[in-house]
Amino acid sequence: MPGLDQRVAVALSGGMDSAIAAALLIQQGCQPLAVHLRLCDHGPPAGHLATLARGLGLRLREMDLRQEFSRRVVDYFVSEYSRGRTPNPCVQCNAAIKFGRLWELLRAEGLNRLATGHYARLQTAADGALGLYRGVDRRKDQSYFLSRLPRELLPHLLFPLGEMTKTEVRRRYRELGLPVNPDCPESVELCFIPQGHYPDFIRARRGPGTPGELVDLQGRTLGRHRGLEHYTVGQRRGLGIPAREPYYVAEIHPETNRVVLGYKNEVRSPGLIAGRINWLIEPPAQDLEALAVIRYRHPGVAARITPLSAAAAQVIFAAPQSAVAPGQAVAFYLDDRVLGGGWIEERLK
């Protein structure tokens, strides 16, 4: 990070990743402003944040964006489930809040760089443009969640952990003697539903769902479901339907309040239609061969991407894929570079 300018903010969550991102900036001669976003009622104790910032030698500012987060992320999450879709609130939050509203506030105060603890990289591509790339630690890579960031924002971002592994980050944290927050384990759930009980949260937010029919792909009734909020495309567990082989959720139809089930070989899809695509390269005018990643931890599948408009495309997989869920994010890669990402609007049959 040579020539790093001093007008930098670092998003400090209270965990070790963002703390080490801040420490690396300090090592480069920068004294960033540490900014903690209060997005919901769950989060690290204020005392821990203050102790962490003091241990790093940084000023700490807390920004209360709970109302904005509730409107832009939580309402979206609940609405998508009610439409029979599978939301990805982390992708939505990054684009709308962390690199959206927060960036607007920082820019208004004269700051011109934002650093976070994401495992992703920024580097100059062969075409001379700045590109977003996977982090070196493939097990922790978070570039998928950043696929909807505006292309013009990339020059203003810093991802200090992009070249590090999680093991190295943990070791560095211990070496610095920074405080450990016992209430802040490795994040695996949504920040606003820390216990992971999605149906309970949705029911509390908008009321209980209406039970309806479980049907097979031919429309034959197999049983009853408990409410659409209990189901996502690709789900296998909790269906309660005895059969010669396991059923999976193939489709969710809110207009008829039906959940459609199929066997594993019946629910694979040859492709999808992606909408609201955010390109991190010049938008392609013709077919593009790339790797399509249809959910976090998905290994990706070779695909042909055919533009349908500036922000929509048909994606045909080299091999049929399971759990192609409308509402989820799809990200496109060429080697390690993120070409862009959109929302899955429809699975092809």
For 250-282, how does the pLDDT look when each residue is reduced to its tens digit (9 = 90+)? Answer: 999 999 999 999 999 999 999 999 999 999 999
What local confidence, expressed as pLDDT, does residue 271 receive? 98
The CATH number given to whatever domain includes residue 43 is 3.40.50.620
Of 156, 176, 196, the position where a domain reaches its end is: 176
Residue 216 DSSP symbol: E
Euclidean distance between CA atoms 8 and 328, whole angstroms: 32
Are the CB atoms for 16 and 170 separated by under 8 Å?
yes
Torsion angle (degrees, nearest 10) of CA 186, 191, 195, 199? -140
Mean pLDDT of 131-140: 97
Domain match, 299 and 235 both: no
Contacts 24+ apart (CB under 8 A), 99-103: 99/146, 99/149, 99/150, 99/153, 99/157, 100/72, 101/65, 101/68, 101/72, 102/11, 102/35, 102/37, 102/63, 102/65, 103/153, 103/156
Only one residue has tokens 């059923």, namely 247
Would residue 184 show up in a list of annotated catalytic residues for this protein?
A: no
Domain match, 287 and 213 both: no
More confident residue, 197 or 98: 98
What local confidence, expressed as pLDDT, does residue 163 receive? 97
* From 30, 90, 93, 184, the catalytic residue: 93
* From 40, 90, 184, 191, the catalytic residue: 191
Domain match, 170 and 58 both: yes
The CATH number given to whatever domain includes residue 338 is 2.40.30.10
157 within a domain of the structure (yes/no): yes
Mean pLDDT of 118-143: 96
Tens-place pLDDT, residues 223-248: 999 999 999 999 999 999 999 999 99
pLDDT band at 215 (very low <50, low <70, confident <90, very high): very high
Would residue 30 show up in a list of annotated catalytic residues for this protein?
A: no
